[in-house]
Amino acid sequence: MKLIYVTDVHGSFERVRELLNLTVADVYIVAGDLVDIPFYTVKTARRYLDLQTYFHSLRRGKGKGDMTLEDYVDELLEDPGLAGEVVEKGNRYRHETLRARQILQKNYGLLENMLSLLPPGRAFSLPGNHDMDLGHTTLRNRDLHLKCHAAGPLKIAGYGGAGGSTPGIPERYSVVYRAGTGVSEDNNEMYRFFKSVQPDVIVTHQPAYGIHDFASPLGETGSHALRRYCELNPVLLCLTGHLHDQWGLEEEDGTVFLNPSHFGEIVEINGRVAEGGFFYDVEIVESTVEQIRHRKLAGGQIYDIVVHDRKEGKWVQQVADRGRYGALLRGRNYEMGEDV
């Protein structure tokens, strides 16, 4: 069985279309963050973020942190004595939130149109922290969040979202992450779900603790529950993302952990564009991962960067493209000429 895994698409749907046209696989997993911003322009997104920041401050001052921001704004607007400026901002926030939902659903519809060209049961998706709950979109039948799907002899299950809120994304429509630090295994939604379905392949957005999870200056930010589950259960593959620079392959306690880095083009905080295009091509033979190719889609072509082969129970790595591999190691753009 061949499995292709991409994550952190960030709205690069045409790149997904290219990938589907250039590859052949038994299973495709296209994971979050599927979209980047829930608006058509950066200007609108910034305006919405300004409104979010304003109402975040009011909510915090009122001690209403247990409410979604949208529920808090609805409650606030019920006050007949509310100042006109607050009313105007609240109504604008409501309007833009509904607009965001419509745009998100339209974008997921575009992705579904692409994936629907594959035979049934060949493509699955997972929401990240930039996404809305896919259960309310046209991707619902291939959604992996709290769902388990059969793919040949394998069971694939997922848990989406990530810890904390994402600025610019409506809280009301996002996946509520109930798998964070400080939650016991008995009360951890993700842990209990995986325990109930016993998947062979796990797909999450947030990485496992201590594996592909280092975020400066916070340190290790991954899920203790995910790491613990994989330690105690026979998980073949654990596919994650979220932290674009924490890519790579690690095998712990019999589980292969993979983060390919981002597939979509990313605009970083400093304004620099990171080109992306990375994905994993995984060969599974009789419930054993035999080969993993770290690949890159660029300029309508696919390049092998690193090939990992399992030999006598150990992984042997061969760098296939030293230029692109070196650029990836240094966090540089190869196709844009930064690392030449």
Q: Give which of 84, 102, 81, 104 is closest to 92, Cα–Cα.
A: 84
Task: Inform me whether the pLDDT recorded for 143 exceeds 90.
Answer: yes
- In CATH, which superfamily holds the domain spanning 2-330? Metallo-dependent phosphatases (3.60.21.10)
pLDDT at 268: 82
| Residue found by looking up tokens 């604008």 in the block | 92
Task: Inform me whether the pLDDT recorded for 185 exceeds 80.
Answer: no
pLDDT at 183: 67
Give the C-alpha separation, 157 to 198, whole Å: 9
3-state secondary structure 124-173: EEECCCCCECHHHCCCHHHECECCEEEECCEEEEEECCCCCCCCCCCHHH
Give the C-alpha separation, 331 to 12, whole Å: 20
CA pseudo-torsion sign 205, 211, 216, 222:
positive
Domain boundaries, given as residue ranges, for the chain: 2-330
Strand pairing partners for 289?
284
Mean pLDDT of 59-73: 94
Q: Give which of 257, 242, 338, 245 is closest to 292, Cα–Cα.
A: 257
pLDDT at 186: 74
Percent of residues in the chain assigned helix, strand, coil, to nearest 5: 30, 25, 40
Cβ-contact 194, 229 below 8 angstroms: yes
- Give the CA count within 13 Å in the CB-facing half-sphere of 72: 21
Residue 175: DSSP 8-state: P
Task: Inform me whether the pLDDT recorded for 164 exceeds 80.
Answer: no
> Where is 192: in which H helix or E strand?
helix 189-197
**pLDDT, the chain, mean:** 94
Mean pLDDT of 40-45: 91
Cβ-contact 179, 223 below 8 angstroms: yes
| Confidence label for 182 from pLDDT (cuts 50, 70 and 90) | low
pLDDT at 340: 53
Q: Give which of 226, 218, 214, 216 is closest to 177, Cα–Cα.
A: 226
Task: Inform me whether the pLDDT recorded for 229 exceeds 60.
Answer: yes
- Tens-digit pLDDT profile for residues 317-339: 999 999 999 999 999 999 998 86
pLDDT at 216: 86
| Confidence label for 24 from pLDDT (cuts 50, 70 and 90) | very high
Core vs surface per residue 132-146: b (16+ CB within 10 A) or e? bbbeebbbeebbbbb
pLDDT at 115: 98
| Confidence label for 272 from pLDDT (cuts 50, 70 and 90) | confident
Cβ-contact 178, 188 below 8 angstroms: yes
Please give the single-letter amino acid code of residue 148.
C
Q: What is the DSSP string of 60-85?
A: HHTT-TTS-HHHHHHHHTT-TT--HH
Number of H helices, E strands in the chain: 7, 17
- Tens-digit pLDDT profile for residues 197-227: 999 999 999 999 999 999 888 888 899 999 9
pLDDT at 339: 62
- Tens-digit pLDDT profile for residues 73-121: 999 999 999 999 999 999 999 999 999 999 999 999 999 999 999 999 9
Give the C-alpha separation, 156 to 177, whole Å: 19
- Indicate the pTM of the whole model: 0.95
Cβ-contact 340, 327 below 8 angstroms: no
What percent of the chain has pLDDT above 70? 98
Q: What angle do CA 293, 295, 301 make, to 5 degrees?
A: 135
